[in-house]
Amino acid sequence: MLPYDVLDYASRAKFYFILRHDTPVRHTPRSFKSGNCFSTVSVHSDEFKAQNDNQAARSLETFIISMQPEENTSRVPQKMVGWYDPLQLLQTAQQVAVSSVFGQYSDHRLVEVLAVHKQPVDYHDYTKKEDGREREEIWIDYVSDTGDGWDSTYAIAYYASQPSLSVTESDGQAYHTRPGSILILGGDEVYPTPSRKEYNARLVCPYEIAQKKTSPPHPHVFAIPGNHDWYDGLVAFTRLFLCKDWFAGWKCPQQRSYFALKLPHDWWLMGTDVQLGSDIDGPQVEYFKKAAAAMGPHDRIILCNAEPHWIYEHIYSEYDHEVFNESNLKFLESEVFHREIDIFLAGDLHHYRRHESIKDGVRKQKITAGGGGAFLHPTHGPDVSSLAEGYELKKSFPEPNISARLCWRNLAFPLFNKYFGALTGGFYLLTAWMVLAPIANLGLKEGWAAVEITFETIIRDPVIALWIVLVFAGIWLFTDTHSRKYRFLAGTVHGLAHLLAIFGLGWAAGYLSSELLGFRGFWSFPIAGVIIFAGGWIIGSCLMGLYLAISLNLFHRHQNEAFSSLGSPDWKNFLRLKINRDGLTLFPIGIRRVPRRWKPSTGIVSKMEPDDRSASEPELIESPIKI
C-alpha cells in the first residue's frame, strides 16, 4: 500500500515522477533524446490511482524521489559543460582563484584525519572474501574524470556496471570481462566545479541509474580527488565519499581522501591526494608508511594519482620545474614504499595513453586514462613518444592523426560555443564605442586615411590607449602560460587580429548605417552598435577558433583550451584489471562514439540502455597488458 500522504498528494495535484520501465503509465515514451528531460513525464492522479497497488508500490521509490524538487532537477540529463560560456568562464575563474588561496591556508586533509567517523584502519584488506576464505581472483575498474555530460558519463557507468562485458580486439579476438569488485574513481569526479547539486546531477544520478542496488557481496568504491573536486576545499567530495556508506550500488569504506588497498597475490593499490598544489601532506605520508610496513618483500604496487606527472614533467618542466616534476612519485618510491612502483595510473588528461618501460625483464606501466566522461583531450601535440627512465609510448586512443583532424573543428568554434560570442561582441562594441573614430563617411579607397584617423584617435586619448594595453594584457594572460615566448608572440598576433577586426567592423558598421542605410544623427549610433555587436559575436568567435586550431595543430600549444572548446563526449575509456594466480591483466576499454539516445532497460542492473545505432560498442583499445 502507498502511504496515505503520498496518495493524498497525488489525488490533489497533477504531479511529476521519474519514469521506470515498470512504471504504471499507459503512454510510456519508447525512447528519449538526450538533452531533454528524459525521465520526467506528467500524468494525472486518476491514471496513477487506476493501477493496482503492487505496481504502484514498485514505483513508489522513484515516485517519492520525484516529489523532492532538488532530486528532480538532478534527474535531468546534463549537457557537456560549456567551458566558453561567459557565465561559466566567470564562475570557473572565481572558484579557481578562491580555492587556490584557501588551499594554501586551509588544508582539508588535515581536518579529515580528525573527523573520520568510520572505524579507522591502516589499509583496506581485500585478500579475503566476506566469508573469510582466501580471494583467488579480484576484478577492479578504474574510471577517471567522470561527471560531465550525461551521454559520456552514463555510457561508462552503464558498461562498467553490466554483469559481464565482452570486448573484442582489432583482430577479432574476444575477451569476457567482469565488473570490478572495487571501483576506483581516479579524480575530477565532477565538472565544472564541485557542489552537492553538481555531484548529484552529473555523477550520482548516472551511476544510480546504471546500478542503484547490488546484492551481497556488494562492490566497493574508492575515490581520489582531482583539482576539480578541490575547488570547494573538498567539502562536497568529503560528504559524498567519506561521510556516506553508499555511492549508488557501491559501498563506501573510504575514510580519507587517500587510501591503501591490500589485494590478493601480493598486489597493493594506493590512491594519493595531491590537492591543488601537487603535494602530499604529512599525515598522508604517515598513512602510506604504515601500509608499507605491512608489505612483504615481493609485494608490488599500483599507484593511482590524480595527475600524470610523467607527462607534465616531460612537457612543462623546462618552463617551471618547481611545479612540473615527478618528485612526489619518486619520494613515495624511495622514502615510503622502498620499492619501485609497477603501474602508475592517472586521469586529468581525458584520453588513453600508455607508456611502458622494461627493467630487468619486468614490464612497468605509466597509463593516462581520464576517459570517464569529461571532454576529450588531444593525443597529438607535444612529442611524448619517449619519457624519462626509458618509458616509451605504446598506444594512444584516439590515434594522434584522428586527434589532429578533430582539432580543425575549432574552425566552427561559434557552433560549439554559441554564447562565447556575447563576450567578443560586447568587447568589440565597447572598444569601437570608446575609440569612435570619425571614419564612417570614408569609402574603401580611403582605407589608409581611415587607419591614420583611428590611430590618431587612440594615441590622443590616454584612456583609450590604456584600454588597448589592457586588451593585450588580457590576451597575453589567456595565451598558453607555459611558454613565455609563445605567450608574447602568439598573444600579440591574436590581439592584433581582434583589433583589426574591430577596426574593420566598426568602419563597415558606420558606413553601412549612415551611408548605405541612410541613418543620420542619433539613430546611426545604435544601428552601427547592433551591427558591431552581432559582427563581433561571429567574427570574434571565429578568430578564437582559428587561433586555437593553429596553436595546437601547428605549434602544439593550448591542448586544454583547443579541446575543451569542442566539448566532445566521444572517445571515452576505462580500465579493467584482473588479478589472479597468473598475475595481473589490464584491459583498456574504449568507446569511440557514445550513445546519444537511451531507452528503458530490459536488463536487471541498469534502468536505461543504449538506443542509438550510430554509437560504437565498447572495444579493447589494445591487447590486454599482462604483468
Which residues contact Fe ion by CB under 5 A? Answer: 145, 188
- Altogether, the residues listed in the chain come to a count of 627
CA 418/CA 409 separation, integer angstroms:
14
Task: Write down the least CB distance from residue 370 to Fe ion, Å.
Answer: 6
The 8-class DSSP code of residue 604 comes to: S
Return the number of the residue (123 or 230) whose C-beta is nearest Fe ion.
230
Return the number of the residue (231 or 391) whose C-beta is nearest Fe ion.
231
Return the number of the residue (81 or 269) whose C-beta is nearest Fe ion.
81
Locate all alpha helices (DSSP H) within 116-253, ordered by sequence: 150-161, 196-199, 205-210, 227-230, 235-237
Task: Write down the least CB distance from residue 536 to Fe ion, Å.
Answer: 31
Half-sphere exposure of 403 (CA within 13 A, CB side): 25
Return the number of the residue (179 or 347) whose C-beta is nearest Fe ion.
347
Return the number of the residue (560 or 585) whose C-beta is nearest Fe ion.
560
Task: Write down the least CB distance from residue 232 to Fe ion, Å.
Answer: 16
**3-class state of residue 102 by DSSP:** helix
CA 374/CA 81 separation, integer angstroms:
9
The 8-class DSSP code of residue 411 comes to: G
Instruction: Name beta bridge partners: 134.
Output: 128
CA 398/CA 365 separation, integer angstroms:
19
Task: Write down the least CB distance from residue 570 to Fe ion, Å.
Answer: 16
Sheet holding 259-263: strands in order across?
A: 124-125, 259-263, 267-271, 300-305, 343-346, 362-369, 352-359, 392-397
Cα angle 367, 269, 207; round to 5: 75
Task: Write down the least CB distance from residue 306 to Fe ion, Å.
Answer: 9
Return the number of the residue (145 or 570) whose C-beta is nearest Fe ion.
145
Task: Write down the least CB distance from residue 145 to Fe ion, Å.
Answer: 4
Return the number of the residue (306 or 502) whose C-beta is nearest Fe ion.
306
Locate all alpha helices (DSSP H) within 350-461, ordered by sequence: 400-407, 413-416, 420-435, 447-460
DSSP 532-570: HHHHHHHHHHHHHHHHHHHHHHHH---HHHHHHTTT---
**3-class state of residue 359 by DSSP:** strand
Task: Write down the least CB distance from residue 348 to Fe ion, Å.
Answer: 5
Task: Write down the least CB distance from residue 148 to Fe ion, Å.
Answer: 9
Return the number of the residue (188 or 208) whose C-beta is nearest Fe ion.
188
Q: Which are the contacts of 200, defined by CB distance < 8 A and separation ≥ 6?
A: 70, 71, 74
Task: Write down the least CB distance from residue 573 to Fe ion, Å.
Answer: 13
Return the number of the residue (145 or 208) whose C-beta is nearest Fe ion.
145
Sheet holding 32-33: strands in order across?
A: 32-33, 597-600, 608-610
Task: Write down the least CB distance from residue 218 to Fe ion, Å.
Answer: 28
Return the number of the residue (350 or 607) whose C-beta is nearest Fe ion.
350
